[in-house]
Amino acid sequence: MSFESRHTDDAREARVERGFDLDARLASREAVDLRRDLAPVDRVGPRARTAPDPKGQPAEWTEERLVLASNDYLGLAGDPRLAEAAAKTAREVGAGAGASRLVVGDTPAHRALERDLAATKRTERALVFSSGYAANVGTITALDPDAVFSDELNHASIIDGCRLSGADVEIYDHCDPDALRAAMRERAREVDASGESWLVVTDTVFSMDGDVAPLAAVCDAAEDFGAWTMVDEAHATGLYVDGGGIVQREGLSERVDVQLGTLSKALGAQGGYVAGSEPLVEHLLNTARAFVFSTGLAPPAAGAAREALRIARADRRRDRLWDIVERTREGLEALGYEVLGETQILPVVVGDRADAVALADRLHEAGLVAPAIRPPTVPEGTSRIRLAPTAAHTRADVDRCLAAFEAAGTELDLR
């Protein structure tokens, strides 16, 4: 053995002894069925070729499959109009921002997108972040609340933002404004809350159950206790009135203090945003570390997102999406499946973890990409297939999906 090899082995052993035995950590995840692999696709769209995780090697593609697991709800990620907008912005502005936006990374592409987002969300201003995750973490920590009241099924980025903020975090029962009121009432009794800043945070559309927060009642509760309301419209932006989200659908733009979302789902691009008052945006661009200390969103992504927002506001893709969603939901229920939610996200509840995995395997064999969602992502006994039809799917695609579910359900005796 060479000196270099011996030295490398010794160094690796030393690292393991100091607590970074990553093989053991991975093995422990695998033992409880939590080990994950990447799942490459050759393109983003309603149909794509897939491949087993190639690790560091080139992918070996399978035949084309019907993709029903994407968050590209309006089918815009592969739209040539977005590609052209991104290319045009790259030619005119640059492929990257080059720096933090507080240095020299603030470009016309960012400003134009933010003006359009503010108009859509009916706010004074908007601010674009590099991702929705960065927007959540950056905003909650910059607001620095004394207490946060958070729905129990909020996204991981909200949870991490709450933890990093150092606030006292009160978790209230999912979509239950009475539980929210009780939590705020209890805190007001237990501590001297005079002068405290309270923040109520909720997703509007929840990604695993496909349900919608009772937003007006949440606003009522927050206002009664003098709290601010912050909502994450990640799975709603672009899908409702004039390209807005649930806040716009419910006419609550004046009552929600912080509107946040992503540009990477229905808008098919990349990035996150916060929309609100002029003082809110000015405060965030000065104090949100995820904004201040990060290179600005790549200008081509901003250009593509702006074009996607224009399309979402102008054409009939939303109507096509809801037609495909309703056709899929009704077909699955007619087959005897339980489908949760009321949105474009269709959680098909199976229950048992092993049954859900078996169903996902049969669907894969039938040419569908529709993975099983299991605990701890969802509660025990509620394992499911999470379907997300898009506006780019056709009625023939829906028929193919339903035929696969019918055959698999019969074979596995699930209905």
Contact indicator for 155, 232 with CB cutoff of 8 Å:
yes
Distance CA 409, CA 60 (A): 30
Which one from 110, 121, 235, 393 is the annotated catalytic residue? 235
CB environment 374-404: b (16+ within 10 A), e (fewer): beeebeeebbbbbbbbbbbbeeebbebbbeb
Instruction: Please identify which of the residues 207, 264, 294, 383 carries the catalytic annotation.
Output: 207
CA distance 96 to 123: 28
Whether 207 is catalytic is: yes
Pick the catalytic residue from 110, 121, 265, 393: 265
Main-chain phi, psi angles of 386, to 5 degrees:
-95, 110
Q: List the structure tokens of 264.
A: 């990477």
Tell me the C-alpha distance between 106 and 12, whole Å. Answer: 44
Kind plus residue range of the DSSP H or E element containing 388: none
Active site residue 265: yes
Give dist(CA 215, CA 19) in Å, integer.
Answer: 45
Q: Name the strand (E) or helix (H) holding 122.
A: none
Report the distance separating Cα 160 and Cα 372, nearest Å: 25
**Positive or negative: CA dihedral 174, 246, 155, 368:** positive
Q: What is the DSSP letter of 123?
A: S
Could you give the C-alpha distances from 314 to 85, 88, 217, in angstroms and in order? 16, 21, 31
Sort strands 47-49 and 64-67 into parallel, antiparallel or unpaired.
antiparallel
List the alpha helices (DSSP H) in 343-413.
353-365, 395-412
Smallest CA-to-CA distance from 171 within 156, 158, 183 is with 183
Give yes or no for a contact between 154 and 232, defined as CB atoms under 8 angstroms apart: yes
* Catalytic sites, residue numbers: 207, 235, 265
